[in-house]
Structure formats: structure tokens, C-alpha cells
Chain A
Amino acid sequence: MTAARSLALAGPDAPVRCLGIDLESIERFNLVMKPGGRAFFDRVYTSGERASTSGNPLLLALYYTAKEAVAKALGTGLDLSGAAAVSGRDIEIRWTPGEERPAVALWRGAAARAEQMHLSDVVVCWEHTPRVACAIAVGTDCPVLLASLVAALREALAALPLSGSAKCASDDTLVGL
């Protein structure tokens, strides 16, 4: 992120109430198709997410980074122990191919935490390269800021030291899933 963008986010009148970011290896989500990943799949993803991701590692990684980014924006991170009060299934990611970004529904601990923070909405933007999925969650509905965040995200992903043909994906890549 450039210095100018950082200042825009951090200034006294900045529209960002909270922010979370997460980045994961897509290959890591092949785990879900193995016996050792079944419990993770069942406990972290909602039934709707399990159906819509269809075991696709890219979608599983994107949904997971979105959840983790939202959990970080809520100041907790994901947990299954109940200690942080926000579990994977408390943050539901909804996305239909063709949509620019996913919608977020908060339940139970996540909804309570958002209410505690007086947060009416959390917006998620996501991107991916062939190897890495990344998501940013922000407590804002400012379209200019969101566009700036997406640009910063693409910039950051493009700068990752990936070999071969790896480069930042466009929205068209997601649409084509």
C-alpha cells in the first residue's frame, strides 16, 4: 500500500471503522478433500458455503480468507474453542459467479461483536493469483475507499515473488469459475 493510501485510511476523518486482511496458499485447501480435512470443512464452513464451494480449492481458499479477514476486522480472528466468541460458521460468505465481491452475513458471536462495535456493515474484497488467495474486510461502505483498497490489494498481490506465469488475477478470472 502506498504512503498516500495509508494516510487516507489513517487520518482523523477516515471512513474505515475497522480493517482485516488475510492471505492463504490455495494449495493448502486441498486438505479439505482428505480425511484429515473433513472436520475442518464441516466446522469452519456453513452448509451453504460447503455447497457453493463444491470442494474447489480456490473457492475454499477465497471463502476462508474472507472469513478470516472479517474476523480480524472484528478484532478477534477465527477460533473454534469459543474463547474468541467468533467461529468460522458465525461469518457466512455468499457469492455467486459474476458478482464483483461476496456478501457477508454475520451470525451469533460475530453478529454480537459487530453490534458491540456499532458496525452496521462489513464489506469484503478478494483477489487471487494462481497460488494465493487474499481478502480485505473493512467496516465501511465508501465506494471510493473500496476501489482504493482493491487497487492496493492487486498491487500487493502483483508484487508477491511468484514464479512462472503467476500474476494478479482480474475479476474476469473469478467470473469464469
Chain B
Amino acid sequence: MDADISTSFLAKLADVFEVDATTLQSGLSLAERWDSVAVLATMALIDEQFALTVAPDELTRCTSVTEVLALVDQRVGLRSPGR
């Protein structure tokens, strides 16, 4: 994932979880933070920034921001030409 895009995405994702970006990246557990607003807001962000559609249960399985980024990377990789 491009570093600028990643930084912008993480800043917005931090808004969703009502923390700052540093806290989000410091291993904050998302397990108990997936309310319906967080799920829809994250789905909308991923769609906006990466033109990707992810399912609610794919997100709620993510327990950290690292796993969210891995999910996005995996999905971006899957749609790349030649894969």
C-alpha cells in the first residue's frame, strides 16, 4: 500500500474509532469496538480510498488495524492484473 494513502486512511480510520492515529497503530484492540457505525464507516472508507467492497464479517474478524490493512492489501492484490 502506498505510504501516503496508508497515512491518510489511518488518520480517517482513527476518527471512526475515536482515537488518534498513534493509538490506533500502537496495537489497539478493535475486537470490542466494532459497533454498526464503525463497520459501516470503515466499509465506506475502504470503498472511498481503495474502490473495494468488503463484507461486514470480514471487518469484524479484524482485531487490530494491522489486520484491517492486511485485508485491504490482500483484496487489492487479488484484483491486480496478472494475479
Which residues of chain A have a CB within 8 Å of any CB of chain B? 22, 24, 28-29, 31, 34-40, 42-44, 64, 68, 77-83, 88
Check B56 against A81 for contact (C-beta < 8 Å). Answer: yes
Contact between A42 and B44, CB atoms less than 8 A apart: yes
Contacts of A24 in B (CB 8 A): 35-37
Convert B35-59 into 0s and 1s, putting 1 for each residue whose CB lies closer than 8 angstroms to a CB of A: 1110011011101100001111000
**Residue from the set A40, A77, A82, A88 with the largest chain B CB neighbour count within 10 Å:** A40
Report the interface size for chain B: residues with CB under 8 A from the other chain: 21
Q: Is the CB of B48 within 8 A of A39?
A: yes
Contacts of A77 in B (CB 8 A): 36
**B54 contacts which chain A residues (CB < 8 A)?**
81
Q: Which residues of B contact A (CB under 8 A)?
A: 11-16, 18, 35-37, 40-41, 43-45, 47-48, 53-56
Extra 6 A-B pairs, beta carbons < 8 Å, given A37-B15, A79-B56, A88-B40: A31-B16, A31-B41, A35-B15, A36-B45, A40-B45, A64-B37
CB distance from B76 to the nearest CB of A (A): 16
Main DSSP-derived SS at the B contact region: helix
Residues of B within 8 A of A43 (CB): 40, 44, 47
Q: Give every chain A residue within 8 A of B56 (Cβ-Cβ).
A: 79, 81, 83
Residue of B14, B45, B53 with most chain A CB atoms under a 10 A cut-off: B45
Write the chain B residue with the least CB distance to A64. Answer: B37
Given contacts A40-B40, A40-B41, A31 and B18 within 8 Å (CB-CB): yes
Contacts of B36 in A (CB 8 A): 22, 24, 68, 77-78
B43 to chain A, nearest CB (A): 4
Shortest Cβ distance from A28 into B: residue: B37
Q: Are A35 and B37 in contact (CB under 8 A)?
A: no
Other-chain residue from A22, A42, A44, A83 in contact with B55 (beta carbon distance below 8 A): A83
